[in-house]
């Protein structure tokens, strides 16, 4: 099972990606959980609403990789590098499409 995130602009999908639910604990600890899994709960409806949160979460992840690696999934499906890469790519997409609407499938 995975989290699917998409950005839509003028009914066209401009970004689409997914990541395992095994990374929710790491996302919580880095401050990314609500931005990634539940943006509607923080009133984030467009890509622009996520930019600062994603940037700060990436900085948190990079500040102490070993702290976050302790949350790597024991089954190998969900590692620090996966969350970091996913979030960096999502941030680029949000910056490139700030008016895009966020759609999440959990």
Q: First and final CA of the chain: distance in angstroms?
A: 8
Chain segment 24-83, per-residue pLDDT in tens:
999 999 999 999 999 999 999 999 999 999 999 999 999 999 999 999 999 989 999 999
Number of domains in the chain: 1
**DSSP secondary structure code for residue 76 in this structure:** S
**Structural domain range at position 100:** 2-105
Amino acid 102: pLDDT: 99
Distance (Å, rounded) from C-alpha 77 to C-alpha 75?
Answer: 6
Provide the whole-model pTM: 0.96
pLDDT at 1 over 90: no
Higher pLDDT, 76 or 15: 15
Q: Report the C-alpha gap between 8 and 12 in whole angstroms.
A: 5
């Amino acid at each position: 099972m995975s989290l699917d995130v998409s950005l839509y602009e003028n009914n066209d999908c401009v970004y689409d990606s997914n990541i395992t639910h095994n990374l929710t604990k790491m996302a919580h600890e880095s401050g990314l959980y609500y931005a990634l899994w539940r943006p509607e709960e923080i009133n984030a409806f467009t890509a622009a609403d996520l930019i600062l949160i994603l940037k700060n979460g990436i900085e948190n992840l990079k500040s102490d990789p070993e702290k976050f690696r302790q949350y790597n999934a024991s089954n190998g499906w969900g590692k620090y590098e996966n969350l970091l890469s996913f979030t960096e790519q999502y941030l680029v997409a949000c910056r490139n499409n700030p008016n895009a609407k966020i759609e999440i499938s959990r």
